Amino acid sequence: MTQAIHLIRNNTQGEEIDYTFVMDCLKNYKSPRVKVTKLLKKGDLIRVKKGLYIFGQQYRKNSYSPEILANKIYGPSYISREYALSYYGLIPEYVSEITSVSTKKRRNFDTPVGRFSYTRIPLKLYRIGFTLITIRNNETALIATPEKALSDLFYFRGFNPENIHDLSSLLFDDLRLDENLVKKMHIEIFLEILQAGGPKSIQQIIDWIKK
């Protein structure tokens, strides 16, 4: 292990690091930027996007977290929609694209560790329905609640089933959601989302849970 990567690795337990942190670790080098370029070329560090890195495979202590990276790549943001539903086990498919919502304009980032997409929602809707999850040690990431993840999916896809039968077909045939987990969703969170301007079709989900 070269001295430079040794300094960086020993100063953090995390796997996702930013430019400021790296520069601080290498502040005693004559040309820290040149040193970073060399570390990137060797694969000791991997640039996820400008100013954000993960350690190369041989220097990782743990797996990097897509959730932490998603929060750091573009913000303010939190994970929602398909990836969040998969995270909670609500849909059976593995979702490779890390989907988030933000108050800023729509952006997509294709990185060496996958695709990160961000869709814009109004501030009133952004402010509700998310929580903090612990990834490892004291490291955390923001993610939508199951209710908000489903509401955001309805919001962006424009789902508007005409009746409960169509809703059931959409939820459990098309989206393949876990029916038992949907039944456990919290009506009060859906109501809060509705009051903030969420999709009106959420009322049908509330009616389905109540039946």
Q: Which of 85, 70, 61, 59 is CA-nearest to residue 156?
A: 85
**Pair (54, 71) in one structural domain:** no
| Pair (19, 100) in one structural domain | no
- The domain that holds 18 is classified in CATH as 1.10.10
Q: Are residues 44 and 96 in the same domain?
A: no
Cβ–Cβ < 8 Å for 117, 99 = yes
Q: Are residues 43 and 116 in the same domain?
A: no
What is the rounded CA–CA span in Å between residue 152 and residue 81?
Answer: 6
Supply the pLDDT for residue 165. 92
Domain count along the chain: 2
Mean pLDDT of 156-172: 93
Per-residue confidence (pLDDT) for residue 1, from 0 to 100 = 46
Residue 67 confidence (pLDDT): 98
What's the pLDDT tens digit per position in 20-51? 999 999 999 999 999 999 999 999 999 999 99
Give the whole-angstrom CA distance, residue 18 versus residue 32: 14
Query: What is the full DSSP assignment across 38-87?
Result: HHHHHTSEEEEETTEEEE-GGG-SS---HHHHHHHHSSSEEE-HHHHHHH
pLDDT at 38 (0 to 100): 96
Q: Dump pLDDT digits (tens) for 55-95.
A: 999 999 999 999 999 999 999 999 999 999 999 999 998 99
Please tell me the predicted confidence (pLDDT) of residue 136.
85
Does residue 110 register a pLDDT over 60?
A: yes
d(CA 22, CA 26): 6
Task: Determine the pLDDT at residue 211.
Answer: 85
Q: Which of 101, 102, 98, 100 is nearest to 111 (CA)?
A: 98
Which residues, in sequence order, are CB contacts of 170 under 8 Å at separation 6+? Answer: 159, 161
Q: What confidence tens digit (pLDDT) does each residue in 124-135 have?
A: 999 999 999 999
Assign 171 to helix, strand or coil. helix
Residues spanned by the domain of 156: 67-210
Q: Do 80 and 104 fall within a single domain?
A: yes
The mean pLDDT value of the chain amounts to 96
Provide the pLDDT for residue 2.
77
